[in-house]
Amino acid sequence: MSIPVIKNEIVTVEIVGLTHEGEGVGRVDGFTLFVRGALSGERVQAKVLKVKKQYGYAKLLELLEASPDRVSAPCDIYNQCGGCQLQHMSYEAQLRWKRQHVVDNLQRIGKLQVAGADGQGVNAGAGRAEQSGIRVHDTLGMTDPWRYRNKAQVPVGMSDAGFGGSAVPSRAKGARQAERSAAADGELIAGFYAQGSHRIIDMDRCLIQDERNDAVVRLVKQIGRRLGITAYDEQSGRGLLRHVVVRTGYVSGEMMVVLVTNGSRIPQVEQWIEGIRAELPAVTSIVQNVNKKNTNVIFGDETRVLWGQEVIYDELDGIRFAISARSFYQVNPQQTVALYRKAVEYAGLTGTENVIDAYCGIGTISLFLARQAGQVYGVEIVPEAIEDAKRNAALNGIDNATFEAGPAEVVIPRWRQEGNKPDVIVVDPPRKGCDNELLETILAMQPERVVYVSCNPSTLARDLRVLEDGGYRTVEVQPVDMFPHTTHVECCVLLVRD
């Protein structure tokens, strides 16, 4: 079949769906075009940018028929910044799309049968005849889906392209905003990357960040400009400041500022500290992380406290946590509580159970579980996280949680050999999903329940297929909108031994 479009052609495209990255999936005479910014059900005029054998990419030029789900994105730089993908879709439509995204992955990748959604729970002992497929609940959303992030990780660059970074002026709503956002040539800039690139979009505010995080990023830019600090350049390997990382305690209000640098020495470091403390008294910790490697990974191995505490403290559902610069800690506290409460509910604890928490991080889910379990065993590959987990257990007076550093697929089989027989296993893996060895160990240990917390519907579906083939039944899935206005969705899943 001949390709019905050519590069640079202006075409009318019928949008029939969205990709997992939020791009519109369009059809022109049966040929697929991906159109960023288009929504399902729309008819658009677009310019063809790239053509391949099976599909192509096009730029949205004009809306001919708009979706009823379309809204105006409130962010000034939304069309340039790659941080959010769905601000042009109503929040109610985002929640519906995220549930369908989960369903599609369960069916397509996991080959799993999904029941209709009515928002009701399922008896964990129900048979297939009673349940007729996996219950996928409506996505659990937020009342106010803005300003929810307690952590900012912002790359830093220079405003002249000659040094590597480049600033793109904000599409502001007024002349004063445009004047504020534009950086002079050679000045320090900070913001998120443009979609699909490492070109920094300079910004002074982000509508999904805690406003206090915005204030820190603005202040660091101001101080850096005043002191003549250079930004790290990926191509040359020169320049000092790589990232600004800010953590804000949701309950405590304590703040940590992390300067990620391409070298150990920070010129005029005392002026940095004085400037931050004078403007932002809520900051209780100023930390430097040294990363000299030519890598996209944000943090290096060396972390030192420049001023204040080594950690900040925060609270989730009455449990207190100490959070260090490199700790993994969920960025949306309100939704984290909802997600972890669901995990505890699915664990079905009565106070006597042995529970294993794989990928336990700093012990967040472990400590939620420990309040209702007999004994909890947490394992995590990052030694610093395990030290944080132990400290957090002691901080809350919880003595029925034990933590060990190492790969889950190595430590848990050894626990099994030592006679540790869990009633429940909870997994919360990274985006790549569970290691095969861990899945095999779960099947060998045969806990009555498995609770799977996932940040990636595709690897979740893949792993559920393995567990189902090994004798488990997926009962229900609760999608949780941890990252409004992006394409990401978390899930909490209950499996029982069939």
For every residue of 434-467, DSSP letters joined together read: --HHHHHHHHHH--SEEEEEES-HHHHHHHHHHH
Per-residue H/E/C for 246-313: EEECCCCCCEEEEEEECCCCCCCHHHHHHHHHHHCCCEEEEEEEECCCCCCCCCCCEEEEEEECCCEE
Type of residue at 450 = V
Q: What tokens does 462 get? A: 């893949």
d(CA 205, CA 211): 8
- The DSSP symbol for 116 reads P
Please state whether beta strands 319-323 and 312-316 pair in parallel, antiparallel, or not at all (unpaired).
antiparallel
3-state secondary structure (DSSP) of residue 63: strand
Q: Which of 360, 455, 491, 492 is catalytic?
A: 455
- DSSP state letter for 231: B
Classify the C-alpha dihedral 438-443-448-453 as positive or negative.
Answer: positive
Single-letter amino acid code for the residue at 199: R
Residue 75 catalytic?
no
Rounded Cα gap, residues 186 and 159, in angstroms: 5
Q: In angstroms, what CA-CA distances link 124 with 341, 492, 493?
A: 17, 14, 12
- Cα pseudo-dihedral 174, 177, 178, 181, rounded to 10: -160
CA distance 106 to 488: 16
C-alpha to C-alpha distance for 133 and 473, rounded to whole angstroms: 10
Residue 36, H or E segment? strand 31-36
Cα separation, 147 vs 484, whole angstroms: 10
**Catalytic sites, residue numbers:** 455
